[in-house]
Amino acid sequence: MRHVKWGLTVGLLMLALGFLGSGMTALAKRTDQTVTFGQLTAKNPKRLAAIRQAARQQVLKQAKVKGASKIEAVYQVKLPTHMTKKATLTVAGLQMNLLANRFKVKRITIPYSRLKGKVVNRYLPKANRTKRVKTTKMVALTFDDGPDPKLTPRLLKTLKKYHVHATFFEVGQSVARYPKISRAVLAGGNELGNHSWNHPNFNQIGTAKTVSQVNRTNRAIYQATGTLPQYVRPPYGNITATEGRAIEQPVVRWSVDSRDWAYLNSRKDINEVMKDTHGGDIVLMHDIHPQSVAAVPTIIKRLKAKGYKLVTVSQLLNDHALPGLQYFGAHDYRTTGK
C-alpha cells in the first residue's frame, strides 16, 4: 500500500511539474513583444542611432569577426533608420532581423545591458534601467593620446591602487602598436574611447576623412579588445555637425583642461585641476607625459579628500550619451558642431 501511495505521490508531483514547466514555457513565450523603434526610442533619432551602434557590435560578435576588412564592413550593414520598423523584445535581449549582408547574419539579439540609457526605460528589464544619480560629488578623469608603452601601465597601477576608474581616449595607430595595453585598460575596469587614428584636426580634413579616421580606430580597438568603443573625442575638440552625424557615436569633450601638455610640470598640473574642478566635471589629461602621470596620485587624493567620487564617463553621464551630441560635463551637452 505504501508503494502504491508513493507511486501516486510521485506521479502527481511529476504531473504538477509538467504543468509548471509548460506554464513557464508559455510565460517565456508571452514575454516576447513586438515593438517599433519609435516606441523604443520615443521617436528620438539619436536613440535610434545608438541602437544601430549597439547592433554593429552584436553583428561582429555573432559573426565571430576577427579580420580587419570585415570589421570595416560592419558599417555597410543596413540597419533601421525609420521609426516604423519593428523589433522583438525577448528574454535574452532586443531581437532584430537583418537584410542580406556580408556576414550572413540574418538575426541578432542585442543584450539589454548594451541598451541601457538608449532605450526608453519601460522596455528594459529593471536591472538595465537607468536611475537618477547625483553628480554633485562625481568627477570623471580622462586621458588622451595613449596607449603609451611605459606611462599607461604606470597610470593603471595608480588607478588600481586608489580604487579609481577612468576613461582613456586612445589613438588608433598606438592601439595597433600596443594592443595588450588597451586590453589592460579595460581589464582594470576602465573604459576606452576613440581619439582618431593619428590625431588630425577634423575641421581641416573633411567629413569623409574624419569618418575614415574614426572607423579605422574603431577597427583597431575592436581587434585589440573585441569591443567597439562607444565614444569619440575629436583631436583639439574640433568636429562639425555633419561629421558628428556621420560617425554615429557620442562625442565627449571636457569641462576642465589641465593644460598638462603645455606645462609639462606636475605641480602646475595639480594646481590647474584642483582650482577648476567641481562636481559633474570631465577632466582632460594625457597619459603620454611623465609629469602628467606623476601628478595623478596627488590629484586623486585631493579630490577624494573633498568628497568627490572618481568615475568613468559612462557613470558620470548615467549611460545617457547619444550620437549627434557632444558632452562637456554631467549636465552640459550640445549638438555637435556648436
pLDDT in tens, the chain (338 residues): 444 444 444 444 444 445 444 443 433 444 699 999 999 999 999 999 999 999 999 999 999 998 777 888 999 999 999 999 999 999 999 999 999 999 999 999 999 999 999 999 999 999 999 999 999 999 999 999 999 999 999 999 999 999 999 999 999 999 999 999 999 999 999 999 999 999 999 999 999 999 999 999 999 999 999 999 999 999 999 999 999 999 999 999 999 999 999 999 999 999 999 999 999 999 999 999 999 999 999 999 999 999 999 999 999 999 999 999 999 999 999 998 75
For Cα atoms 139, 217, 311, give the angle at the middle one, nearest 5 degrees. 15
Is 269 part of the annotated catalytic residue set?
A: no
Question: What pTM did the predictor assign?
Answer: 0.90
Is 144 part of the annotated catalytic residue set?
A: yes
Catalytic residue among 144, 145, 260, 269: 144
* CA proximity to 44, closest of 239, 323, 332: 323
The C-alpha torsion from 13 through 14 and 16 to 22, rounded to 10°, is 160
Catalytic residue among 145, 269, 281, 286: 286
For Cα atoms 58, 49, 279, give the angle at the middle one, nearest 5 degrees. 100
HSE-CB for 278 with a 13 A CA cutoff: 7
